[in-house]
């Protein structure tokens, strides 16, 4: 499994909205990120280009952090501000893991690699699968060879029917912190190893204590 982050956004507006019910914005002590900069310039050939600079990192204040933790741990209604903090990430995982991840739809959007459009385009090799649970690589190579045989003769439907669940697929996902909290507490002790990898990644996210419910000890 591979996980690569594109962006994490929404901390400042989420914390601002978190204080709306009690109109306690005067108690906000977090440091807002600087706005993203979009610079327009003309290159030597006369073409106008734009360069986007991402905003600086949000920094929690102690009072905001205390309230955020209290609300996040009080349940989904009180912790609804977490729905406005969003991670964009590329995830490469097996079909087995994706079939379970597809359970989560609230606060999750996905764009995946297409087997329909790409599976027949290149040689199918063992590197396209996760055969790590097999006792040796021979059987994995055999399975990949069967798939490659059907690809070579253009039998797409047959290839789909024999494609192992260990086949790796990449999806670009948009996931809210609220969805990640739900996932983390449901899957942290799951027997599928990929869930342990995913939950370990969650624990390394900025202010992941809002998701896990427990303060980090190494900050």
- For position 68, which CATH number holds? 3.30.1360.170
Query: What is the band of 57 on the pLDDT scale with cuts at 50, 70, 90?
Result: confident
d(CA 68, CA 72): 6
The pTM assigned to this predicted structure is 0.84
Q: Which residues pair with 31 in a beta bridge?
A: 59
- 10 Å CB burial of residue 20 (0-12, 13-18, 19+) is exposed
To which H or E segment does residue 151 belong?
A: helix 137-152
Q: Evaluate if residue 17 carries a pLDDT over 60.
A: yes
Residues 6+ apart with CB under 8 A from 55: 33, 34, 35, 36
Note whether 101 and 174 are same-domain residues.
yes
Residue 47, pLDDT score: 54
d(CA 164, CA 184): 27
d(CA 14, CA 35): 16
8 to 55, 84, 158, 178: CA distances (angstroms): 10, 11, 40, 13
What's the structural domain count of the chain? 2
Residue 33, pLDDT score: 77
Note whether 207 and 179 are same-domain residues.
yes
Over residues 67-86, mean pLDDT = 95
The larger pLDDT score, comparing residue 215 to residue 131, is at 131
Note whether 80 and 172 are same-domain residues.
yes
Q: Report if residue 126 sits inside a domain.
A: yes
Over residues 73-78, mean pLDDT = 93
Whether the CB-CB separation of 188 and 200 falls below 8 Å is answered with: no
54 to 36, 148, 204: CA distances (angstroms): 5, 42, 20
Residues 6+ apart with CB under 8 A from 99: 165
Q: Report if residue 18 sits inside a domain.
A: yes
Q: Evaluate if residue 188 carries a pLDDT over 80.
A: yes
Q: Report if residue 45 sits inside a domain.
A: no
d(CA 111, CA 89): 11
Note whether 107 and 127 are same-domain residues.
no
Whether the CB-CB separation of 91 and 174 falls below 8 Å is answered with: no
What proportion of the chain, given as a percentage, has pLDDT over 90?
Answer: 74
Q: Evaluate if residue 163 carries a pLDDT over 90.
A: yes
Owning domain of residue 17: 2-32+58-112+168-212
Residue 136, pLDDT score: 77
12 alpha-carbon distance from chain centroid: 20
Note whether 150 and 84 are same-domain residues.
no
The mean of the pLDDT values for the chain is: 88
d(CA 73, CA 58): 21
The pair of structure tokens assigned to 108 is: 């999750």
Note whether 154 and 174 are same-domain residues.
no
Residue 52, pLDDT score: 46
Residue 55, pLDDT score: 54
Over residues 37-50, mean pLDDT = 52
Q: Evaluate if residue 165 carries a pLDDT over 90.
A: yes
Q: pLDDT tens digits for 84-93?
A: 999 999 999 9
Q: Evaluate if residue 219 carries a pLDDT over 50.
A: no
Note whether 98 and 183 are same-domain residues.
yes
Residue 42, pLDDT score: 55
């Amino acid at each position: 499994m591979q996980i690569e982050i594109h962006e994490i956004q929404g901390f400042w507006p989420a914390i601002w909205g978190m204080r709306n019910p009690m109109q306690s914005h005067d108690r906000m002590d977090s440091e807002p990120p600087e706005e993203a900069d979009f610079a327009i310039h003309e290159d030597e050939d006369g073409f106008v280009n734009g360069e986007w600079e991402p905003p600086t990192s949000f920094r929690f204040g102690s009072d905001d952090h205390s309230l955020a933790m209290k609300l996040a741990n009080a349940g989904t209604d009180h912790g609804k501000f977490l729905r406005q903090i969003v991670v964009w990430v590329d995830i490469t995982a097996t079909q087995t893991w994706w079939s379970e991840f597809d359970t989560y739809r609230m606060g999750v959007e996905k764009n995946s690699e297409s087997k329909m459009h790409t599976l027949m385009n290149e040689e199918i090799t063992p590197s396209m699968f996760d055969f790590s649970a097999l006792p040796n690589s021979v059987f994995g190579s055999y399975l990949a060879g069967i798939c490659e045989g059907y690809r070579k003769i253009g039998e797409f439907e047959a290839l789909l029917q024999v494609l192992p669940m260990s086949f790796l697929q990449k999806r670009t996902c948009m996931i809210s912190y609220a969805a990640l909290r739900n996932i983390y507490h449901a899957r942290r002790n799951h027997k599928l190893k990929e869930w342990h990898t995913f939950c370990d990644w969650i624990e390394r996210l900025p202010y992941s204590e809002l998701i896990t419910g427990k303060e980090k000890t190494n900050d």
